[in-house]
Structure 1
Amino acid sequence: MNLTRRIARPMLASVFVADGVDALLHPDAHVAQFKKVTPLLEKAGLPPVLTSDAKMLTRVLGGVTAVSGLMLATGRNPRSAALTLALVNVPLTVVNNPVWAANGPQQRKQFSSGLLRGVGLGGGLLLAAKDLAGKPSWGWRWSNAREHAVEVREARAAAKAKYKG
């Protein structure tokens, strides 16, 4: 792993680890934020089953976020961890920054800034999920192996033909 990845992954993951641990240990503040946007989410089509136990949902998402953040920070399945964080980041960013429910221009500015920050983190996570750490993708490896297998078969057939006769 090169130095940039060794430094950048923990930096990117730190926000998610801290938020995840906070959601696990202190879910009430997160639940209060979630309750503010629950009616709108239900109107948008979120099933009431998901909103019925907001404390448990908060803790589950907190656990997923903390574990995925630790995995990204330590380099354990970093692509899967980054993709998981990117998927979890979307609803969390929307819930934590309800621009449509802002009371005044100052709060709207604050929510807009938080929304853009969340979008930026999501972009960084998508880049981390796409990062192959200098290795070719599985698709390329597979097609390259197939090409070389054909070349090897042709070379064997040519060698057999030459020495048989």
Structure 2
Amino acid sequence: MSVIRFLARPMLASSFVVAGLDKLRNADDTAKQLSPVLRRASESLPFKADEKTLARVIGGAQLGAGALLGLGKLSRFAATVLAVTSALNSYVEWRSADISTKEGRSARKARLLKNISLTGGVLLAAVDTAGRPSIAWRAEHLAADAKKVTGKQIKRADKAVRKAVDNAVGA
């Protein structure tokens, strides 16, 4: 892992870890803030879940994914989870912000830009392969290499069979 990745991942993850801890500690406030989104989510789930439980799940997912990203473990998966939670936070904070004053509108815009920036950062981390090819690229090239090798082997075998037949018929 490069020095940049070693430093940048924990720096990016720290905001999510702190936010996840805050959501877990203040599940009632989080449930109230996320209420419109959580209500729709709980209605679409096949099992019964209250908004407070869903708020805890979101906080736990944010905390866990932030910790994984910070440690460099399952980084791409963790960053994808963080991108989803960050987008959700952006939407919720945008809707619930106080816009009655000029300061409130300014704070709303600043929070939105911060959340968009964090979402962009974790999206970059989600596609970062750390200089190694992705699994899809590896599989594609492995299949192409196997096809080349198999084709060459078939041609050699065909040539050997034809030679054997010519020798047997000619003899």
Structure 1's 158 and 96: CA in aligned 2 closer, same or farther, altered over 3 A? same
Report 1:85-104 matches (<5 A): 85-98=82-95, 101-104=98-101
1:5 alignment partner, SS class = helix
Structure 1 residue 106, shift from structure 2 partner: 1.0
Pick 1 or 2: higher relative contact order, CA cutoff 8 A, min separation 6: 1
Contact 1:86 1:125 in 2 (8 A): yes
- Structure 1 unaligned blocks of 5 or more: none
**Per-residue CA distance 1:13-58 (angstroms, 9 max, x = gap):** 00000010111123344345345xx4xx59xx936748x8443232
Question: Are the counterparts in 1 of residues 97 and 108 from structure 2 also a CA contact under 8 Å?
Answer: no
Alignment identity in percent?
33
> TM-score, structure 2 length as denominator?
0.78
Separation in structure 2 between the aligned mates of residue 77 and residue 126 of structure 1, nearest angstrom: 14
Q: 2:123 aligns with which of 120, 126, 131?
A: 126
Match of 1:143 among 135, 140, 145: 140
What is the alpha-carbon root mean square deviation over aligned residues? 2.7
Q: Secondary structure at the match of 2:40?
A: coil
User: Equivalent residue for 2:53?
Assistant: 56
1:46 maps onto 2:43 in alignment: no
Name the CA distance, whole Å, in 2 between partners of 1:48 and 1:65.
Answer: 19
The answer to whether the aligner puts 1:74 opposite 2:74 as a matched pair is no
Which SS does the other structure have where 1:98 is aligned?
Answer: helix
What's the TM-score, normalizing by structure 1?
0.81
Aligned residues: 158
Q: Give, in whole Å, the separation in 2 of the partners of 1:77 and 1:66.
A: 14
Shift of the alpha carbon at 1:109?
Answer: 0.7
